Structure 1
C-alpha cells in the first residue's frame, strides 16, 4: 500500500530544520518523519494528534512521532514555529534508550507548555542542533544529533515529573496495559487489511468482549471505533496524495466493494471520498 502523506519538508541526510507556519498542511495528514519537534514562537491554533484535538500556542513544544497521525486544523495568521525533524532510523535508535514510562507520559501530553526559562533552553537546543544538521557532514555529527535528542527527552521526562504530570495509571505496568499497547501495534500493521475486532482479539488471545471492556476502561471508546479511525486516515492519505480511483482504494484497503467503502467514509466524515479529494486539492 502507498503510505504517502503530505510533506511540508523533504528530509535529507540525518535530519532537517527550518521555520514553518504549517499553513500548507491544514486539513491534511502531515508526514513528520521518524520524529519532529515544533517549537512554537508566535500565534496559536488547534492540531489533531492521534485523533485528539489539542491547542498549541507560543511557548509550546510539540513532540511528534511517526506512529501518531498529525493534522493541523486551524492556525492563527501569525502562527510560527521552528522545526527539527529526523528520519525513522535515527529516531528509533534514540527511542529504544528512553524509558517506556516516558512514552506513556508523552503520548498523553505531546503538546508541552514551557516556562520562559525552559523556552530559553529549548531555543539554544534548537540553534545547536540546527547548526549540526546544516553544517556537519561527518558520521560523528549523526551521533551528536542522536545524543542531542536523547538528552532532550531525558530533560523533558524530568521536567514533566517535576511539575506534576503523573503516569497514566498504576495499572499501566500490568497485563491490561500491555494488551492495550499490543493492540495498537497490531492495528498499525494490519488495519489496511483487517477491519474487525475479532481478528485483533484472536491475535491477542483474548475474547472480543474482553477487548471492548479493556478499551472502555482506558479510552472510553470501543476498539471498533479506533479501527475505523485508522482506516479513515488511510483512505484520506490515498485520496489526498495519490490519483488512485475509488475502486482501487477500496481494493487496497480490502473493502468488499467500493460502494460500501463510500458509505463508510460518508458516515465517518460527512462527505463522499470524491468530495474529500476535491476539498483537499483546492
Structure 2
C-alpha cells in the first residue's frame, strides 16, 4: 500500500486528472491540500481559502476511499475556526493544512483554530522549515509547534522534517518516545517530502530513522496537481534510493510508505483497489 501524504491542489485539476495521476504512480491514497499558493488563492485572503476548500470538497466527493481532502485556513482570521468547522462538518474534508506566514504557532490569536482541530480530532499538517516565499521561515521553527500539546486531540505532522532545523524537529518528536508513547499514538510525526537539498538528504533521513524510527516518518511527494504520475513516481524513487543506501528493512519501509500516514489519518492500512479495477502492486515488499 502507498499513501502520498502531501499533494497540492492548484485549482486547475479535475477529479479525473487526480485519479489518473494516482493510478499511473500506483498510489492508493492521496492526501490533497486545498489550493493556497496561486490561481487566485492566497494564504492572505480568507475568502479565497473558503473557495479553495469548496473546490477541494467537490473534487474528493464520492472518492473518499482514494482522496483525503485537507482544508486550508488562515488562523489569523477571526472566522477561521468557524471556517474549519464548516469545512469538516459540512463540506466533508478530513483534515487541515496550515502555513505560519505572518504568525507564530504559539500566539494566542491562533489557538481557537487549534482548539477546533483538537475537538474534531483532526490530522493537521503544518509546513515547517524554510518556506518558498523566502520570508516566512522564521515563523516555522519546529519547536514553535510544541504548543499543539495544549490541544491533545490533534494529530500533527510537520512537513519536510523541519529543514534546515531537522535536529530541532527530531527533538520535538523525541518527547513522545521518551515518555513511551507508541508511534501510532504520538502527537507528532514528520513527512519526508524534500525540504533538504540532495546533499543533505541521506544524513537527515538516517538521523531521523535512528532517533525516531520509521513509525514517525511518512512519505509525501509535495507535487502540485495536475501533474503526470511519473512526477510522483520520481519522488518515490528518491526515497527508495535512500532507503536502499541505508539498508532499511521491509517492515520499516512499509511504515514510511503507508503505516505512519494511515495511523495519522485514522484509516485502515489495508490496501484498496486502484481505478479501472486493477489491484495495486505493492511498492516495497
* Bigger RCO (CA 8 Å, 6+ sep): 2
Larger radius of gyration: 1
Interval containing the TM-score (normalised by the shorter chain): 0.3 to 0.5
- Identify, as 1 or 2, the structure richer in helix: 1
* TM-score for the superposition, normalised by structure 2: 0.34
